[in-house]
């Protein structure tokens, strides 16, 4: 069920289904909660699945200065805390972040550890942008505000999907493109500026003591398996799952395998 709450200057919309242990799914960039549709369906028989649209994305609104000033990862994390408080979820959640959602997850887990029971990192990174990548993001943010998101979407799509998905699975290509195209330029610019500013959390990973599951597509070109393996070496209780037949967009390219891993992990974490 789609619901929304008012948080200071923004309205945050989220999908809320099932009951029991809360599992929060944080989407990537430039996407919205719809990227988790198969996992929401699969998990809501076992848990309460809360999948927000991050500020500015999907049906959620953006703050007045966000497009120009950017939204830092800790601000998105604070929004999630605000959402949980507002809907009365006080118990620790299983927090799952995909790519940019993973950057937000780090901030949430480091700032509000008492609100986290376990973490799931999907196709994400711990390092900051290089100086060159940072510069590219700022330039793209300005361009997107002037010209729209078409060229960003066209440039990102081949990095998001595996070669096989791109050439043989038009339905997946269409679905991912549709979600990317529906993102508002202002939200995209805000997130680009925020990601450009994000910190390198590598040295802080050892502070995260909750059990972790790492999921990565075998052909992920944005957060490759080798990089995610090195993240797993810094976490204490960690399981590592490589998803075959998938690039970066594991949740949509091999939805069944991701749902199965998540379900197994949630069941383990809830003693089921
Ligand atoms: C994402 O999928 O969220 C993005 O690829 C993250 C990024 O651009 O660093």
Could you tell me the distance, in angstroms and rounded to a whole number, from the CA of residue 8 to the centre of ligand 1? 27
3-state secondary structure of 3: strand
Superfamily of domain 2-270: Alpha/Beta hydrolase fold, catalytic domain (3.40.50.1820)
Q: What is the DSSP string of 103-114?
A: HHHHHHHHH-GG
Q: Kindly give the number of the ligand 1 atom that is closest to the alpha carbon of 123.
A: 2
What does the pLDDT look like over 59-103, one tens digit per residue?
Answer: 999 999 999 999 999 999 999 999 999 999 999 999 999 999 999
pLDDT at 271: 86
Q: What is the ipTM of this complex?
A: 0.96
Q: Kindly give the number of the ligand 1 atom that is closest to the alpha carbon of 27.
A: 3
Residue whose CA is at the smallest distance from ligand 1 atom 7: 100
Give helix 73-86 / helix 100-111 axis angle, nearest 10°: 70
Degrees (nearest 5) of the Cα angle 118, 56, 26?
15
In percent, how much of the chain has pLDDT > 70?
100
Residue whose CA is at the smallest distance from ligand 1 atom 9: 100
pLDDT at 142: 96
Q: Is the CB of 76 under 6 A from ligand 1?
A: no
Q: Is the CB of 99 under 6 A from ligand 1?
A: yes
pLDDT at 80: 98
> In whole angstroms, what is the distance from residue 73 CA to residue 110 CA?
12
Q: Is the CB of 106 under 6 A from ligand 1?
A: no
> In whole angstroms, what is the distance from residue 101 CA to residue 98 CA?
5
Chunked in runs of 10, what are the mean pLDDT values of the chain (272 residues)?
A: 96 98 98 98 96 98 95 98 98 98 98 98 98 97 96 96 97 97 98 98 96 98 97 94 98 98 97 76
pLDDT at 236: 85
Count the helices and strands in the chain (H runs, E runs). Answer: 12, 8
Q: Is the CB of 195 under 6 A from ligand 1?
A: yes
- Domain parsing of the chain, residue ranges: 2-270
């Amino acid at each position: 069920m789609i619901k929304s709450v008012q948080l200071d200057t923004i309205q945050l919309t989220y999908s809320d289904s099932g009951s029991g242990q809360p599992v929060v799914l944080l989407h990537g960039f430039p996407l919205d909660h719809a990227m988790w549709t198969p996992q929401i369906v699969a998990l809501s028989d076992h848990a309460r699945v809360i999948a927000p649209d991050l500020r500015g994305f999907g049906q959620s609104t953006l703050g007045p200065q966000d497009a120009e000033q950017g939204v830092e990862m800790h601000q998105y994390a604070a929004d999630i805390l605000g959402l949980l408080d507002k809907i009365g979820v006080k118990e620790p959640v299983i927090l799952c972040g995909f790519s940019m959602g993973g950057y937000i997850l780090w901030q949430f887990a480091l700032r509000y550890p008492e609100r986290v029971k376990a973490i799931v990192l999907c196709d994400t990174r711990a390092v900051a942008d290089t100086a060159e990548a940072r510069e590219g993001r700022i330039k793209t943010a300005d361009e997107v505000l002037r010209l729209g998101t078409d060229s960003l979407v066209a440039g990102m799509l081949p990095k998001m999907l595996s070669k096989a998905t791109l050439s043989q699975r038009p339905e997946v290509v269409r679905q991912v493109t549709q979600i990317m195209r529906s993102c508002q330029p202002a939200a995209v610019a805000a997130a680009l500026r925020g990601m450009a500013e994000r910190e390198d959390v590598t040295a802080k990973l050892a502070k995260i003591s909750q059990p972790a599951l790492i999921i990565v597509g075998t052909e992920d070109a944005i957060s490759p398996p080798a990089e995610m393996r090195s993240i797993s070496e810094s976490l204490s209780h960690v399981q590592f799952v490589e998803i075959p037949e998938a690039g970066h967009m594991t949740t949509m390219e091999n939805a069944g395998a991701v749902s199965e891993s998540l379900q197994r992990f949630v069941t383990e974490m809830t003693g089921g």
